[in-house]
Amino acid sequence: MRISARVDYAIRATLELAAGGPEPLTSERIAAAQRIPVRFLQSILADLTAARLVASTRGREGGYRLGRPAAEISIADIMRVEQGFLADIHGSRPEDVDYPGVARELTKVWVAARASYRSVLERVTLADVLAGRLPEDIAALLTDEDAWVSGSDR
């Protein structure tokens, strides 16, 4: 699994907005709180605003706030804004990849992996993360010791 800096920063910024309540936060304040380069963050906030996950207010008292309640914004929503597909194979959706010969069944592996990934990311919201409570079946995944170990560390 690879999470880009852009996606990581977008999720952390929206969490900061969710924690900030209804009052707008400046990009500088979000950047400082989450140790994100402010210029990079401004680009991310522009994407999130265009997608209406974030709302912006101009002026001296302006800033950013969530575009809808934190319980209605999934981690997958944010990821899709910043990277498009949740999973891709050389820029294509897994189901659109056509492998020849002995690799033909590999498409099914990629589709199944994406379904598993998506089942977690679409069900976890900003509100869940802020509250420190994941859906029960997702939290249960964390009890497996191997969940905390990279494949290269085994």
Instruction: Convert the pLDDT of each residue in 89-111 to its tens digit.
Output: 887 788 888 888 999 999 999 88
CB–CB of 64/25 below 8 Å?
A: yes
122-143 average pLDDT score:
95
For 5-147, the fitting CATH number among 1.10.10.10, 3.30.200.20, 1.20.58.1910, 1.10.340.30 is 1.10.10.10
CB–CB of 70/125 below 8 Å?
A: yes
DSSP the chain: ----HHHHHHHHHHHHHHHHTTS-B-HHHHHHHHT--HHHHHHHHHHHHHTTSEEEE-STT-EEEESS-GGG-BHHHHHHHHHSSSS-BTTB-GGG----GGGTTHHHHHHHHHHHHHHHHTT-BHHHHHHT---HHHHHHTTSGGGGS-GGG-
Domains in the chain: boundaries: 5-147
Higher pLDDT among residues 9 and 1, named by residue? 9
Q: How far apart are CA 139 and CA 134, in angstroms?
A: 5
Higher pLDDT among residues 146 and 123, named by residue? 123
Cα–Cα distances in angstroms (integers) from residue 88 to residues 8, 93, 114, 116, in the given order: 18, 5, 9, 14
pLDDT of 31-67, one tens digit each?
Answer: 999 999 999 999 999 999 999 999 999 988 889 999 9
This prediction has a pTM of 0.87
